[in-house]
Amino acid sequence: MTDEIITQLSIFVNNEPGRLAAVAGIFKDCKINMKACNLAESTEFGILRAIVDDPEESYEKIRAKGAIVRKTEIIGVAIGNAPGSLFEAADVLGKANINIEYGYAYSAKGGEGLFIRVDDPQKAVTALKAAGIKLIKGSEI
């Protein structure tokens, strides 16, 4: 796996009061630093998608606490704070026949970005790099 493919942790969170606090408590107890996250919901449960320091070690710590956690490969695309910046990356991926399953944005001192799950991460990395679109490396988050 290249540094352009980022490991995201997805933690299942029951959709009831106090459950997000319980998951956040696991992060606190295990000293896991979240760099970016997204909380999605359905009727019965939510999914906390998180970019963390040392995802492999964090995955093991979260599992040891009894939480349901999965690893997912995603990519980070640098986008500017200007009209059309999302279009450029989405257009490249669409023309390469790569489906974007979901995404979430973040902003930090280093700039803005979009984390996306695609059906073929390596093909997406190749297509975006060929188009001159900057990718966010795991080491840059």
Instruction: Check whether 47 has a pLDDT greater than 70.
Output: yes
Strands 69-79, 34-41: pairing kind? unpaired
Instruction: Check whether 80 has a pLDDT greater than 90.
Output: no
CATH of range 73-140; options 3.30.1390.10, 3.30.413.10, 3.30.2130.10, 3.40.630.30: 3.30.2130.10
Instruction: Check whether 91 has a pLDDT greater than 80.
Output: yes
CATH number of 5-72: 3.30.2130.10
Same fold? 5-72, 73-140: yes
15-29, 34-48, 93-107: which has the minimum mean pLDDT? 34-48
pTM of this prediction? 0.88
Percent over 70 (pLDDT), the chain: 99
The pLDDT tens digits of the residues spanning 117-139 come to: 999 999 999 999 999 999 998 87
Q: What is the rounded CA–CA span in Å between residue 100 and residue 12?
A: 21
Q: What is the rounded CA–CA span in Å between residue 41 and residue 12?
A: 10
pLDDT value of position 1? 59
